[in-house]
Amino acid sequence: MKITETFVSLQGEGLRQGMPCMFVRLAGCNLHCAWCDTEYALGNAIGVEMTAEEVMEAAIASGVSYVCITGGEPLLQKEELVPLVAAMHEAGVTIDIETNGTVPFGELQDYASVCMDVKCPSSGEMSDLSLLASLRETDTVKFVIGDEADYLYMVEVLAANPKLRAPVCITPVYGTDTKWLVETIIAEKLPVRFQLQLHKMVNVA
């Protein structure tokens, strides 16, 4: 599989925010979000070829028992990703998979938690909202909010999916004003988790 990078840092987002984590960033993406902060991972030609065994060895050598597989869009390499994640799970590794919500992920849910990043209008892209029904309590829904239109879109999506089981995390686009978003969440008493990107706040990868 094509890997852009592997590194150990703190998980900056989601339900395991703040935990030491080994990141495995797969190359290639089928979207091009306006505020993407990992554009270097978008092209399929970027990165190096690694076998599942080599990635597994790197994960074990890291000494960290929590792995986040991200991208790009990692599910574009699903054929190779499924056996890798199954092997990691068998070895006792806790796994999160971050996805843009355009590729079905059911084959991976026996082995990993899924974080579906629902694309809001300011991204210029769109997720497949039918995939929300596949998420479990151990998965996560993420909305990156850039402006009021994004916020209203998120409210609309949540209202249209009252049986959504996964917890919802809201992250503002990095560098934008957050006060209005915090005040609105409090005023409307939304059942969501507001998060800033911890890794950027403490200046680590």
Tell whether residue 25 is among the known ligand binding residues.
yes
Tell whether residue 180 is among the known ligand binding residues.
no
Strand partners, 194: 170
Tell whether residue 178 is among the known ligand binding residues.
no
Tell whether residue 101 is among the known ligand binding residues.
no
Tell whether residue 10 is among the known ligand binding residues.
yes
- CA 95/CA 193 separation, integer angstroms: 21
- Beta-strand pair 2-10/20-26: antiparallel
Tell whether residue 37 is among the known ligand binding residues.
yes
Tell whether residue 109 is among the known ligand binding residues.
no
Tell whether residue 35 is among the known ligand binding residues.
yes
Alpha-helical (H) ranges within the chain are 52-62, 78-90, 148-160, 179-188, 198-201
Please, are residues 166 and 193 in contact by the beta-carbon 8 Å criterion?
no
Tell whether residue 184 is among the known ligand binding residues.
no
Tell whether residue 128 is among the known ligand binding residues.
no
- CA 76/CA 87 separation, integer angstroms: 19
Structure tokens belonging to residue 178:
């957050």
Which of 19, 126, 1 lies closest to 9, judged by CA? 19
Tell whether residue 12 is among the known ligand binding residues.
yes
Structure tokens belonging to residue 43:
């092209």
Hunting for tokens 């852009």 — which residue is that? Answer: 4
- CA 196/CA 101 separation, integer angstroms: 21
Tell whether residue 33 is among the known ligand binding residues.
yes
Please, are residues 26 and 72 in contact by the beta-carbon 8 Å criterion?
yes
Binding site for substrate, by residue number, is 10-12, 25, 70
Binding site for S-adenosyl-L-methionine, by residue number, is 35-37, 72
Binding site for [4Fe-4S] cluster, by residue number, is 29, 33, 36
Binding site, by residue number, is 10-12, 25, 29, 33, 35-38, 70, 72
Binding site for Mg(2+), by residue number, is 38
